[in-house]
Amino acid sequence: MTANSLSISQENPHCVTSNSRQLNVQIAQEEVYSFFVEIVKKLSPEDVLREFKGLFIDGLDSEDSDYIPGIYSIFLDDNEQELYNTLKRCCYIIVNNWKSNRKDKYIQELVNLFVNENLKIKTNNHPVVKICKNWIENFVNSKDYQELKLFATKYEESSRGHWANRYTSYLLIDQSVNKNNPIEQQEAARRLSKQIKDKFKFELAMYIARSQSAVSSTTRYKNPSVLGDQALRLIKAIVLKRGVFSHENIAHIFIKQTQNQTLEEFKINLEKYLFFSVENQESVESWRQKFADNLSLWKKNYNQEIMTKELFLRTCNRVIDCLTIENGKEPSSLFILLINQGHSLTLVIILLKIILICKNSRRHLETRIAHLIRFYEKYSEEECKGVINFMEIFNITFAIYAENVEYNLIKMEEEQSSNPQLNLDGYRVFSQMKVDRKK
């Protein structure tokens, strides 16, 4: 079966109703999707690329000025968006399969098909061909194409170039939860995001092990963060919070103590819980009060409602919005205030404490992080030092509290002070993979 064998309907658009035209588009789309689902499993990547190019690209290269590529004929009745939808889903049917079968190198070739000199509009092109080429040009300049390019970037290369490239895993999470994206795109984004996160966790664990060994520094494992040697001290400070007053234990206590409370009671206790044991209480007092005022006004009409699982989740998600990006477009005033005052670690720990009481809010938090990255990516690295510092601390903290890695702090020498945080150099961090006892 080849692209040329696809029996795409090409009825005269003036002879059919609007509903009929839409039905023809849907039938043609399903035929194309089925075609690529079939061939991506059977053919070599080179042949799949050839079929894709034959269907979407080659017709636009034709020297015949009157030639209209068959696939485009069904979209010419003002249906540019449906063409995008078709292009996207076909791309992700292919990408999803190649990612699963470790044929990543061909994804770059797929992406490159749209950057072709022959696709540029020429003065002697047929008006219809010009329209088709213009649609492809619009696709290449769209967010959809930028998202597709994320799958072609190797992990090693993702940290190069623009500073936002280092946080691709969150941009992928945003793709994976967007219901407007094809299912194949959501799945591919979810899988790739996990791969990137797992690689970061592994590199972080190896960096910790090598950086504390007596072996020459030339053999030290690559530090996956951009914090330099400060990363190790930060890790120790985070891991130090264990025992009775660990973040996990406090979270468990909070959940038990807030059972059957009203929303009003819950909001008051949530604010106390989030700021419990926060360092430099005085320096964040004004910020804390602003947060408390913001939270108390939310859903005020529901204050006497008893907390349910749904209300619990919505409240935690609301807190995340309040601390990151409230309207999905611009950073919240609280986020800006805390970042500008140099309290990135405080903000990260508070966000962590939310996830420890409500794991179902994790995806919501990661999509908000993606929105922050999208907002700030138009600024230079120099202008975004505070945001980048926040992102690095966020990455490390959530890697440490990952479900499949356990970090422990071991005292290597006697302390001269009763406060171990004053002598972090006397401790070493050890990490190990957790065993899944459920299996």
The pLDDT of residue 280: 65
Among 113, 134, 152, where does a domain finish? 152
Same domain, 143 and 239: no
Please, which pLDDT band fits residue 157 given cuts at 50, 70 and 90?
low
Whether 173 is in a domain gets the answer: no
Would the pLDDT of 400 be above 80?
A: yes
Q: Is the pLDDT of residue 417 over 60?
A: no
pLDDT at 437 over 70: no
Nearest to 266 by CA among 310, 291, 303, 314: 303
Say yes or no: 257 and 387 in one domain. Answer: yes
Q: Is residue 199 part of a domain?
A: no
Residue 338 domain flag: yes
What does the pLDDT average to over 214-225?
64
Q: Residue range 135-163: average pLDDT?
A: 83
For 86, the token pair is 């078709």
User: Does residue 374 belong to any structural domain of this protein?
Assistant: yes
Residue whose entry in the numeric block shows the structure tokens 């970090």: 407
Where among 128, 152, 176 does a domain terminate? 152
Query: And the tokens for 282?
Result: 């005085």
Q: Smallest Cα–Cα separation from 94: which of 56, 68, 60?
A: 56
Q: How far apart are CA 202 and CA 196, in angstroms?
A: 10
Q: How confident is the model at residue 76 (pLDDT cuts 50, 70, 90)?
A: confident
DSSP 225: S
pLDDT at 242: 57
One domain, residues 244 and 345: yes
Q: Are residues 374 and 237 in the same domain?
A: yes
Based on the domain organization, do 142 and 12 belong to the same domain? Answer: yes
CB neighbours of 376 closer than 8 A, spacing ≥ 6?
164, 331, 384, 387
The more confidently predicted of residues 366 and 28 is 366
- 114 and 249 both lie in a single domain: no
Mean pLDDT of 106-124: 85
232 with 372, same domain: the answer is yes
> Based on the domain organization, do 235 and 384 belong to the same domain?
yes
Say what the pLDDT of residue 422 is: 47
Cβ proximity of 409 and 421 under 8 Å: no
Residues 118 and 264 in one domain: no
77 lies in a domain?
yes
Catalogue the long-range contacts made by 79-85 (C-beta closer than 8 Å, 24 or more residues apart): 79/25, 80/135, 80/138, 82/25, 82/29, 83/135, 83/139, 84/135, 84/139, 84/142, 84/144, 85/29, 85/182
Band of pLDDT at residue 439, cut at 50, 70 and 90: very low
**pLDDT at res. 348:** 94
pTM: predicted TM-score of the whole model, two decimal places? 0.84
Number of structural domains, the chain? 2
**Mean pLDDT across 377-406:** 89
For residue 230, being part of any structural domain is answered with: yes
Residue 220: pLDDT above 60?
A: no
The whole domain housing 27 covers: 3-152
Q: What is the pLDDT of residue 161?
A: 73
**Could you tell me which residues are beta bridge partners of residue 433?**
405
311 versus 78: the higher-pLDDT residue is: 311
How many other CB atoms are there within 10 angstroms of residue 214's CB atom? 4
The residue among 116 and 392 whose pLDDT is bigger is: 392
Q: Could you tell me if residue 347 is inside a domain? A: yes
The larger pLDDT score, comparing residue 235 to residue 298, is at: 298
Domain check: are 122 and 34 in the same one? yes
Asked whether residue 145 falls in the same domain as residue 262, the answer is: no
- Residue at a domain's end among 125, 152, 179: 152
Asked whether residue 274 falls in the same domain as residue 140, the answer is no
Instruction: Say yes or no to pLDDT of 416 above 60.
Output: no
- Tell me what pLDDT residue 438 has: 47
Give yes or no for a contact between 367 and 173, defined as CB atoms under 8 angstroms apart. Answer: yes
Q: Say if CB 361 and CB 316 are below 8 A apart.
A: yes
Locus of tokens 């996830």: 355
Position 353 in a domain: yes
| Mean pLDDT, range 166-194, rounded to an integer | 94
For residue 9, is pLDDT > 80?
no
Q: Choose the most confident range, by mean pLDDT, from 156-160, 168-172, 403-407.
A: 168-172
- Is residue 405 pLDDT above 80, yes or no? no
User: Which tops the pLDDT comparison, 236 or 105?
Assistant: 105
Give the residue, 213 or 264, on which the prediction is more confident. 264
Average pLDDT over residues 112-125: 80
